[in-house]
């Protein structure tokens, strides 16, 4: 059986920076309130009139990743695209990437696992490579949140959290079983699906019915029971980390870098304290980007690598928790 290794990384975010002070002009909030609860200082939002979408941002990140992998577009065998904010209800963004990058008529799938999307996407790609089906897979996480948020005081509990952006990696076959992805671990608990959800539009509550409500139906805005999600997140993050380490006969002392999904800086800090990780053993960038959902881990991984914080032979754990509930981890020997 083969192993899979990340050979190229890239990310893209819009130039338009929205600070907490900018949000205070849209809703009853302030910089101190947002930072105290989330750690977020600013986020990037696609400006009005821009051509950026989840697919186009994903394509921009993917081009960088392919170039850094030393490959051409014709070397890519498959596409896995993670997002909760696709350009269309259907088809998915994966096929748009095939067209935008002028790739051969290779397969493409979309992963709809929200904040855990990139972990699920990486795990899916890993299986295709381990079985020998594909050699080089493009894995993308991309989100266009800003156009779907309630930017009023009513929606501030969610609206302040999210940013736009995309990240991508090329996952390639290697016969060195000591390097690359060592294991992945995926979980779900659908009984809590309604704790973090966008209810509509859905087939049972389609657009004409929402329009007919004359503004009373706002189920197209994200809903989150923040306290409930936070309490579950810190537990599942911890479980996912330990599951990955234990499966590979490793301990926290072996860990060189932990990159969590960037949901809330307070969650990351809780996990850091629990496992007694040094500041150089965990990478957070939610302060500058907000929660970019399926894009958050791959943006953070790319940025950490660009800054030289990830070195050859480092042990890296990626972990995510989010809507579904879904959660999981990936253990990598760089």
Catalytic residues, by residue number, are 115, 261, 291
Beta bridge mates, 108? 79
Tokens matching residue 122: 């990486």
Tokens matching residue 128: 């295709």
Structure-token match 């697919």, residue found = 55
State the Cα–Cα distance between residues 188 and 193, nearest whole angstrom.
10
Query: What letter does residue 278 receive in the DSSP assignment?
Result: -
What residues have CB less than 8 Å from 7, skipping those under 6 apart? Answer: 68, 69, 70, 71, 136, 170, 171, 172
State the Cα–Cα distance between residues 190 and 143, nearest whole angstrom.
22
State the Cα–Cα distance between residues 234 and 330, nearest whole angstrom.
17
Tokens matching residue 164: 């736009």
State the Cα–Cα distance between residues 36 and 20, nearest whole angstrom.
12
């Amino acid at each position: 059986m083969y192993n899979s290794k990340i050979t190229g990384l890239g990310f893209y975010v819009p130039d338009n920076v929205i600070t907490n002070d900018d949000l205070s002009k849209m809703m009853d909030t302030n910089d101190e309130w947002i930072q105290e609860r989330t750690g977020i200082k600013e986020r990037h939002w696609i400006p009005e009139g821009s051509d950026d979408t989840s697919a186009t941002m994903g394509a921009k990140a993917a081009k960088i990743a392919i170039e850094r992998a030393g490959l051409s577009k014709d070397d890519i065998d498959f596409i896995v695209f993670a997002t909760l904010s696709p350009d269309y209800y259907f088809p998915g963004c994966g096929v748009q990437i095939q067209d935008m990058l002028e790739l051969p008529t290779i397969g493409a799938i979309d992963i709809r696992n929200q904040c855990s999307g990139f972990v699920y996407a990486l795990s899916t790609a890993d299986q295709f490579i381990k079985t020998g089906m594909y050699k080089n897979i493009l894995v993308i996480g991309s989100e266009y949140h800003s156009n779907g948020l309630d930017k009023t005081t009513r929606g501030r509990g969610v609206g302040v959290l999210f940013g736009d952006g995309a990240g991508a990696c090329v996952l390639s076959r290697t016969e060195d079983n000591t390097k690359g992805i060592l294991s992945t671990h995926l979980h779900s608990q659908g009984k809590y699906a309604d704790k973090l959800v966008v209810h509509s539009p859905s087939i049972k509550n389609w657009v004409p019915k929402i329009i007919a409500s004359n503004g009373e139906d706002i189920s197209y805005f994200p809903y989150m029971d923040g306290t409930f999600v936070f309490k579950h997140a810190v537990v599942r993050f911890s479980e996912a980390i330990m599951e990955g380490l234990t499966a590979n006969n490793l301990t926290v002392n072996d860990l060189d870098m932990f990159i969590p999904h960037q949901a809330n800086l307070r969650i990351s800090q809780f996990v850091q304290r629990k496992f007694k990780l040094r500041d150089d053993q965990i990478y957070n960038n939610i302060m500058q980007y907000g929660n970019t959902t399926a894009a958050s881990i791959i943006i953070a991984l790319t940025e950490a690598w660009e800054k030289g914080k990830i070195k050859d032979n480092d042990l890296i754990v990626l972990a995510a928790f989010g809507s579904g509930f879904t959660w999981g981890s990936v253990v990598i020997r760089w």
